[in-house]
Amino acid sequence: MFTRLYLHIPFCQRKCDYCSFVSMQANQHSIEDYVVTLLEEMRLVRATYGAGDGIDSIYFGGGTPSQLSPHQIARLLEQSSLLFKWKARPEITLEANPGTVDAQRLADFHAAGINRLSLGVQSFDNQLLSRLGRIHTEQQVVNTVSAARMAGFDNLGIDLIHSLPGQTLDMWRSDLARALQCETDHISIYGLTIEEGTPFALRYTEESPLLADEDLSAAMFETADTLLTAAGYEHYEIANYARHGFRSRHNSGYWKRDGYLGLGIAAHSLLRDETCDVRFSTTSDLDEYTTAINGGILPHHDTISLSREEAMAEFMYLGLRLKEGIEFREFESNFGCSPLKIYAATFDLLSRAGLLTVDKTSIKLTLRGMLLSNQVFSRFLP
């Protein structure tokens, strides 16, 4: 049914101005209450969905999961190892923000069982960082990267954002150069999107001269591909680059549609068995979550049993995110028919537009297809 666990930790020191994730400020008391509720939720999901099929990855995402203490992380991991069947050495990722962790805390997270660290860097430009409402500086990024290495993290990633308000192509090149100097194992790159309900949505309308236009965004995407692949990183997914052997196992599981169980508020789940794939999400209301779990109920919403057509569409648009694309025989072994029959007209249209390459055994996105991936994916929706 599932091989991956996601734990959502919805706390941040302060809210960034562009952020629409489910996160809030908290004190240590409310964080401990949340951890206790998560532990109880784990017992409930174990009783409802079983021990899983060999847990291959666990991901603490947020929010800022490094707001939890190493002891709290250790308790969550210990309980999870008792309740769920773990594979021999699961990948266990903690998202952390520079400025929230020091060398000792990182060493304690490592000792608690975290073996992969993902740092929310976003930019190395102090002015842009402050415009984003981030709490850290460039120097804190550099210090945190070197502290993480000293703490024993041999699987370290950073996230960057491009197309920030006022960011030029040269500024982006400089961010990429600084990222390469950090010599991390993994780099994720996202283009800024202005999300409704955020301070950015009020500050930057579509006409704002500070926002990157389509051409500049495209140039930034392509520049990242050129510079990072030249430096030896594999552009293995639309937004992700890794050194050899350092692809994210957890996120790769999402794109391959492995079953995963999400715990905590606003977490999403996909449970799979031979007969059916089911998606659901947990309430994003903290009070509703706490009351339900304390009453022995899992507050799952939006439960959908996917039709065969929906599962096929997901297989296509998630699998196409990966560099290697989709092997026809994989599709056939999942659905008992060839995608060439079902999507022949779509493949033809997209490959003539230069967005896909199709050969005898597989299809994959071109670089332009990656850039315009939303247009490609919309063609596969049932």
Q: In terms of CB distance, is 189 or 350 closer to ligand SF4? A: 189
Cβ atoms of 119 and 97 within 8 Å: the answer is yes
- Site membership for ligand SF4, residue 128 (CB under 6 A): no
Q: In terms of CB distance, is 99 or 299 closer to ligand SF4? A: 99
Q: Enumerate residues 263-302 that contact ligand SF4 by CB under 6 A.
A: none
Residue of 105, 99, 164 lying closest to 138 (CA atoms):
99
Q: In terms of CB distance, is 28 or 305 closer to ligand SF4? A: 28
Q: Which range in 19-27, 216-224, 271-279, 327-335 contacts ligand SF4 by CB under 6 A?
A: 19-27
Q: In terms of CB distance, is 90 or 120 closer to ligand SF4? A: 120
Q: In terms of CB distance, is 120 or 319 closer to ligand SF4? A: 120
Q: In terms of CB distance, is 62 or 113 closer to ligand SF4? A: 62
- Site membership for ligand SF4, residue 201 (CB under 6 A): no
Q: In terms of CB distance, is 97 or 167 closer to ligand SF4? A: 97
- Site membership for ligand SF4, residue 262 (CB under 6 A): no
- Site membership for ligand SF4, residue 100 (CB under 6 A): no
- Site membership for ligand SF4, residue 15 (CB under 6 A): yes
Distance CA 9, CA 188 (A): 20
Residue of 111, 93, 118 lying closest to 5 (CA atoms):
93
Q: Enumerate residues 215-234 that contact ligand SF4 by CB under 6 A.
A: none
Q: Rounded to the nearest whole angstrom, what is the least distance from the CB of residue 11 to ligand SF4 in the complex?
A: 8
Q: Rounded to the nearest whole angstrom, what is the least distance from the CB of residue 19 to ligand SF4 in the complex?
A: 3
Q: In terms of CB distance, is 63 or 339 closer to ligand SF4? A: 63
- Site membership for ligand SF4, residue 12 (CB under 6 A): yes
Q: Rounded to the nearest whole angstrom, what is the least distance from the CB of residue 135 to ligand SF4 in the complex?
A: 8
- First-to-last CA distance in the chain? 24
Distance CA 197, CA 80 (A): 35
Residue of 11, 12, 9 lying closest to 135 (CA atoms):
12
- Non-local (6+) Cβ contacts of 376 within 8 A are 317, 320, 350, 355, 356, 365, 369
Binding mask 23-62 for ligand SF4 (x = CB under 6 A): x--------------------------------------x
What residue has token string 């072994």? 333
User: In this structure, is the dihedral angle defined by the CA atoms of residues 178, 184, 187 and 193, taken in order, positive or negative?
Assistant: negative
Cβ atoms of 91 and 249 within 8 Å: the answer is yes
Of the candidates 66, 97, 155, 163, which one interacts with ligand SF4 according to CB under 6 A?
A: 97
Of the candidates 1, 21, 40, 323, which one interacts with ligand SF4 according to CB under 6 A?
A: 21
Site size toward ligand SF4, by CB under 6 A: 11
By DSSP bridging, strand 300-305 and strand 277-282 are antiparallel
- Site membership for ligand SF4, residue 157 (CB under 6 A): no
Cβ atoms of 322 and 237 within 8 Å: the answer is yes
Residue of 48, 54, 47, 42 lying closest to 4 (CA atoms):
54
264 backbone dihedrals φ, ψ, rounded to 5°: 95, 170
CA distances from 375 to 50, 143, 324, 347, 350 (A): 38, 40, 19, 13, 10
Residue type for 206, please? E
Q: In terms of CB distance, is 3 or 100 closer to ligand SF4? A: 100
What residue has token string 């926002």? 211
Interacting residue ranges for ligand SF4, rule: CB under 6 A: 12, 15-16, 19, 21, 23, 62-64, 97, 120
